[in-house]
Amino acid sequence: MAANYRKRDSLPARMLTVSEVAEVLHVHPNTVRAWSRSGLLKAYRVGYRQDRRFKLQDINEFLISKQM
């Protein structure tokens, strides 16, 4: 039974959409896209349409870097 146990830590982190990141950062979604394009925010392209997705950890690191 223990062999079938999967740790929660091994589950992938939830990815945020452009709109969700914009809401968290209190900016317009186009600003999030521009920051992604310029490399300020790390984005991952997913799916057929290559939509941007963001890891919450990357957003937190971005916020910390902007506080200094």
pTM score, whole prediction: 0.77
Rounded CA separation 41/57 (Å)? 11
Residues 54 and 13: beta-carbon distance below 8 Å = no
**What is the architecture of the domain spanning 14-67?**
Orthogonal Bundle (1.10)
pLDDT of amino acid 11: 59
Q: Where is pLDDT greater, at 57 or 8? A: 57
For range 30-59, the mean pLDDT: 95
